[in-house]
Structure 1
């Protein structure tokens, strides 16, 4: 059950990432990831 929940959440995250990629384009997508990663550290 926990494995299915994790797979479902992972699928939603992947789907959201792809939606952002198609909406904003590659350059903005990677810039957002880089900024978020820099904010964590």
Structure 2
């Protein structure tokens, strides 16, 4: 009995992985920066001032 298809090589793990693209890395770094900035503001100014700053910023945008 013959196989229905020709045997195929299984790609190795190094061939299956693609390096991350530059925009994806930049977006990840920007997200980390925003989170770190928010945590720093929260620690420095406290919750009340932090939320008031966010509300004022959002109001200025919209």
TM-score normalised per structure 2? 0.63
The residue correspondences of 1:2-41 to structure 2 (distance < 5 A) are: 2-41=23-62
> Relative CO higher for 1 or 2, CA cutoff 8 Å, sep ≥ 6?
1
Count of residues in Structure 1 that have an aligned counterpart in Structure 2: 41
Larger Rg: 2
Larger helix proportion of the pair: 1
**Structure 1 residue ranges, 4+ long, deviating more than 2 angstroms after superposition:** none
Unpaired stretches in structure 2, ≥5 consecutive residues: 1-21
TM-score, scaled to structure 1: 0.91
Unaligned runs of 5+ residues in structure 1 are none
